Amino acid sequence: MTTTETLIAAADAHSAHNYHPLPVVVATADGAWMTDVEGRRYLDLLAGYSALNFGHGHRRLVAAARAQLDRVTLTSRAFHHDRFAAFCTELAELCGMEMVLPMNTGVEAVETAVKTARKWGYRVKRVPAEMAKIVVAGGNFHGRTTTVISFSTDPEARADFGPYTPGFEIVPYGDLTAMREALTENTVAVLLEPIQGEAGVIVPPAGYLRAVRELTRERNVLFIADEIQSGLGRTGRTFACEHEGVVPDAYVLGKALGGGIVPVSAVVSSAAVLGVFGPGEHGSTFGGNPLACAVALEVIAMLRSGEYQARSAELGEHLHRELGGLLSAGKVTQVRGRGLWAGVDIDRRLGTGRQVSERLMDRRVLVKDTHGSTIRIAPPLVITKEDLDWGLDQLRAVLAT
């Protein structure tokens, strides 16, 4: 057996099979490239589901992490530490908001947003006890906890995990009429991805986010944007909501906020909303730890320059032009997305998304399929145009055969 086969067999024997990874075993990585245990190099067109927006081992981020490792890494929130104030201030400023509640993984931040909306509903909006409702969209992906899968519409994510948490109303994504009808006096929040990532990079109809913003404002309902995957440069702007000039009541952030080094997530909102929490009412041992704050501060500084957003916009235009060529050639049936982010539906006669991903892997390009016939392209924003073009050449070659 090769080293790759041995390691995969051992992983299969001793890890739960809750993933179906491509058969590549990564040993090292740099920028947009990963090297496997056999020394083969692969172009990374997934970027850790956008957790690696700045690529692997970005010098600035690694330096920030290293410097913090030598100072202090964990205090718990029982004490203050000297990176916390800057992290909260600068993240709030980047978001045009006032307050930050830091957590670790994305789903914890979504849970935090759910708790925030409910508490705000009871304390501020005065919804009767236990009656708070949150409206979400079909096809959503907000994470994997029992409460969050309670409002998933994906049978695989839900089956055999009940009983489910009540208090959620699901409406079709992009359907404004359904959204309007779903809102009642007891609705405390609308929770949406401004672009649905896991569903296949689904961009809502033009004007939808703006209309949801107006509707929620009129009805005294919080608009919570889950920008865990769409945010922090991925779409060519800091936030995907910006494409419609929308400012939500709260952002939920994660993935790229940790620079691909540590899990860092947060809810970012106004003082009127996040001010509902008192001591002991919510928390996390690792949330807002010094190492997380140091890395995230560097991420924020990098985003402040606008350089990565501009890169995503420019290379994204190129990416979508090239993918448009595959569409005209009849190799793919639909292409969606914004910036360096695309969901590509493969003509089923050419293979499943999984098969195309495997053939791309044989040509040293790594992507991930979703929902049968879709592949998702989300390179690190630091990718060069030459590398991106090489990756697209491999996709064309795979679809030509």
Ligand X SMILES: *Cc1c(COP(=O)(O)O)cnc(C)c1O
> Do strands 265-269 and 99-103 pair parallel, antiparallel, or not at all (unpaired)?
antiparallel
x/- letters, 137..156, toward ligand X (CB under 6 A): ----xxx-------------
Stretch that binds ligand X, among 61-69, 106-114, 273-281, 285-293 (CB under 6 A): 106-114
Does 228 engage in binding with ligand X (CB under 6 A)? yes
- For ligand X, which is the closer residue by CB, 19 or 79? 19
Q: How far apart are CA 92 and CA 269, in angstroms?
A: 8
Residues 6+ apart with CB under 8 A from 92: 98, 99, 100, 268
Tell me the closest approach of the beta carbon of residue 231 to ligand X, in angstroms: 9
Binder among 105, 112, 150, 216 for ligand X (CB under 6 A):
105
Stretch that binds ligand X, among 104-112, 232-240, 288-296, 376-384 (CB under 6 A): 104-112
SS3 of residue 17 by DSSP:
coil
Q: How many CB atoms within 10 Å of residue 74?
A: 11
Does 116 engage in binding with ligand X (CB under 6 A)? no
Tell me the closest approach of the beta carbon of residue 351 to ligand X, in angstroms: 25
Q: What is the dihedral of CA 145, 262, 311, 387, to 10 degrees?
A: -100
Nearest residue to 213 via CA among 202, 226, 205, 224: 224
Nearest residue to 43 via CA among 377, 312, 401: 377
Check if 368 is active-site: no
From the candidates 119, 133, 255, 331, which is the catalytic residue? Answer: 255
From the candidates 36, 87, 133, 226, which is the catalytic residue? Answer: 226
Does 343 engage in binding with ligand X (CB under 6 A)? no
Start-to-end CA distance of the chain, whole Å, equals 29
Does 157 engage in binding with ligand X (CB under 6 A)? no
Q: What is the DSSP letter of 280?
A: T
Q: How far apart are CA 3 and CA 38, in angstroms?
A: 7
x/- letters, 166..205, toward ligand X (CB under 6 A): ---------------------------x---xx-------
Tell me the closest approach of the beta carbon of residue 145 to ligand X, in angstroms: 8
Tell me the closest approach of the beta carbon of residue 166 to ligand X, in angstroms: 21
Tell me the closest approach of the beta carbon of residue 386 to ligand X, in angstroms: 29
Stretch that binds ligand X, among 86-94, 223-231, 240-248, 292-300 (CB under 6 A): 223-231
Backbone angles phi, psi at 186, to 5 degrees: -90, 0
Check if 119 is active-site: no
Say how many residues touch ligand X, by CB under 6 A.
16
- For ligand X, which is the closer residue by CB, 226 or 345? 226
Does 226 engage in binding with ligand X (CB under 6 A)? yes
Residues 6+ apart with CB under 8 A from 400: 331
Structure tokens at 183: 């809102």
Residue nearest ligand X (C-beta atom) = 106
Check if 385 is active-site: no
Does 110 engage in binding with ligand X (CB under 6 A)? yes
- For ligand X, which is the closer residue by CB, 150 or 394? 150
Does 338 engage in binding with ligand X (CB under 6 A)? no
- For ligand X, which is the closer residue by CB, 197 or 260? 197
The answer to whether the beta carbons of residues 309 and 236 sit under 8 Å apart is: yes
Nearest residue to 312 via CA among 220, 195, 204, 167: 195
Hey, which bits of 180-234 come out as E strands? 187-192, 222-226
User: DSSP letters of 230-259?
Assistant: TTTTTTSSSSGGGGGT---SEEEE-GGGGT
Q: Which residues, numbered 21-50, are part of the site for ligand X (CB under 6 A)? A: 49
Q: Annotated active-site positions, please?
A: 141, 226, 255
Residues of this chain that bind ligand X (CB under 6 A): 49, 105-107, 110, 141-143, 193, 197-198, 226, 228-229, 254-255
